[in-house]
């Protein structure tokens, strides 16, 4: 028996290993993840606003849509990639992700040459790389500047406030 055998083969392998239950275990594991991700979406603590925020982070602007449409979109994402939804809801970087999306919408952070930029600083090539850059303690001052530029109404101007003795009078 060799390569010139006239009987059809099942591919190029001579020996296949069958592990009973392995494929079923993988399918059940994936369905459990989908169920967990769906549970996060349906039982969102912030309700409609929380689901809108998650859709916004995933790159879908659905501010004028009904809650059912937003929930349907998130459930579709959960069916395709449940790990992404689970990571969004359980990850500790939700505030940084919201900041990144808001700063991109405001034009504070922009994409040039497939890299995220703030002014003349490169933040990274992907969302996750930019979030990792924002988490780095060395970049705390620049992160504060990004927050001030993105949300100017939350940070009052320090220049306009009276200082020292004038404040006491």
Specify whether 76 is located in the same domain as 103: no
Tokens standing for 162? 């009276």
State which of 56, 75, 90 marks the end of a domain. Answer: 90
pLDDT (tens digit, 9 = 90+) per residue, 136-168?
999 999 999 999 999 988 877 655 454 444 444
Q: Give the Cβ contact number of residue 133 at 10 Å.
A: 19
Q: Is the pTM of this model over 0.85?
A: no
Whole-number Å distance between alpha carbons of 33 and 81 = 9
For 113, the domain range is: 94-154
Specify whether 43 is located in the same domain as 85: yes
CA 114 to chain centre: 17
Examine residue 13 and state whether it is found in any structural domain, yes or no. no
Whole-number Å distance between alpha carbons of 53 and 161 = 34
pLDDT (tens digit, 9 = 90+) per residue, 53-83?
999 999 898 989 999 999 999 999 999 999 9
């Amino acid at each position: 028996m060799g390569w010139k055998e006239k009987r059809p083969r099942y591919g190029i392998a001579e020996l296949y290993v069958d592990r009973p239950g392995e494929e079923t275990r993988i399918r059940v594991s994936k369905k459990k993840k989908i169920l967990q991700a769906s549970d996060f979406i349906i039982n969102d603590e912030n309700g409609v606003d929380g689901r809108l925020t998650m859709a916004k982070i995933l790159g879908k602007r659905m501010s004028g849509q009904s809650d059912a449409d937003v929930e349907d979109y998130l459930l579709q994402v959960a069916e395709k990639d449940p790990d992404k939804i689970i990571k969004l809801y359980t990850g500790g970087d939700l505030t940084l992700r919201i900041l990144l999306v808001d700063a991109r919408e405001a034009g504070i952070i922009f994409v040039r040459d497939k890299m995220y930029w703030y002014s003349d600083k490169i933040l990274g090539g992907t969302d996750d790389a930019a979030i990792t850059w924002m988490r780095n303690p060395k970049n705390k001052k620049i992160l504060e500047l990004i927050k001030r530029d993105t949300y100017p109404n939350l940070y009052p101007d320090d220049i306009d406030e009276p200082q020292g003795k004038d404040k006491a009078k």
